[in-house]
Amino acid sequence: MISRVYRATLFALYQLCIVIGIVAMPLAIAARQAGITLPIHRLLANVEDAYEASQSGDA
């Protein structure tokens, strides 16, 4: 039961990170032109890895 809640929470967090990335796109473009890179891709990759690990751990 806890693993279901954990996977559902990770999935919701993953989806939230995607939405934040889409909403922050204009800010990211402006920041890139100023020479600053936002680390949203790293956050998304970490959450994705955790979600995939929780999926593969439960067969």
- Residue 51 is part of which domain span? 2-56
Number of domains in the chain: 1
pLDDT tens digits, 8-43: 888 898 889 889 888 988 988 898 899 988 787 888
Q: How many other C-beta atoms can be found within 10 angstroms of the C-beta atom of residue 33?
A: 8
For residue 20, what are its two tokens?
């934040």
For residue 44, what are its two tokens?
């998304």
Give the dihedral of Cα atoms 7, 13, 14, 19; nearest 10 deg: 150
Cα 48 from Cα 13, distance rounded (Å): 9
- In this prediction the pTM is 0.63
How would residue 57 be classed by pLDDT, with cut points 50, 70 and 90? Answer: low
